[in-house]
Amino acid sequence: MAVDPFLKKYQAKSLAKGVVVIVHGAMEHQGRYQWLAEKWNAKGYHVVMGDLVGQGENRGEKPGHIDSFQQYIQQVSSWVDEANRYGLPVFLLGHSMGGLIVIRVLELSTLPIAGVLLSSPCVALAHKPSLPLDLISRAINRVKPDLLIESGITPTLATRNQAVITADQQDDLMISKVSVRWYRELTNAMGLAFEQITRFMPVPLLVMQGGNDLIVDQVAVGNWVKACPITDKAFCLLPGYYHEIFNEPERETVFIQALAFVEVVLQKRELL
């Protein structure tokens, strides 16, 4: 498989202990995770991340559009393959829709990874469209799947960090519209995340969820974690945090928790 041209690698500052594959969320891009990549690099971890199809520098001619959610699944699977070239333990970190992609990847395949971190994974929306709108989207999906619609998601809904909000408002790579097909594929993937949960790959799992998330349904996230059949799992609810926990004013604390999870997993692997 050809290397994803939009994939980027960030090298550890010292002898590397592992690799973290970061999967960004909807309507954003990997460039927003520079701070997080630098934090991992400083602690001895390479970072691999790229722009998902239809987003960031990978927008192409149809920003915000996909033909199938399978495109995301194949793309992220290829990122994991590339990360494994380092010959080190690989961790998958998915935020929001990126978390949903990671879930679907691990429900559909067995990959050589050491652990998974999910940040406010999009297994259900906090505010669902009305039934009439949902039915209309189904009809449009058949005749005009690439029709773009406003997502309704703004930077102020995602984080309390004013510096991040200002940067996002000036970021030309951010998009505000998504296609009807994209919405239908997202909706289908969210349903499958629950329906096929028993297939989830049995690897150490940490799910971190903002307690004041205005985008993703935090109750649904907790229910997904409870239903996940694996034994080595943890759910961390962060009271008062908005959706983008790695962009919140308290993000240093969030990173410390994520790092602790990864290092404990590595310590356990050394004991085996």
Q: Of these residues, 4, 168, 213, 217, which one is catalytic? A: 213
Using an 8 Å Cβ cutoff, are 58 and 24 in contact? no
What's phi and psi for 193, nearest 5 deg? -60, -35
Question: Among 24, 65, 96, 217, which one carries the catalytic annotation?
Answer: 96
- In angstroms, how far apart are the furthest CA atoms of the chain? 56
Among residues 24, 29, 65, 243, the one annotated as catalytic is 243
Distance CA 190, CA 153 (A): 18
Task: Measure Cα distances from 103 to 27, 66, 113, 176 in Å.
Answer: 19, 18, 13, 24
- Tell me how far apart the alpha carbons of residues 149 and 178 are, in angstroms, rounded to a whole number: 6
243 is catalytic: yes
Residue 147 CB contacts under 8 Å (≥ 6 apart), including other chains:
140, 179, 180
Lookup result for tokens 């691999």: 48
Query: Catalytic: 46?
Result: no
Task: For residue 96, indicate whether it is catalytic.
Answer: yes
Catalytic residues: 96, 213, 243
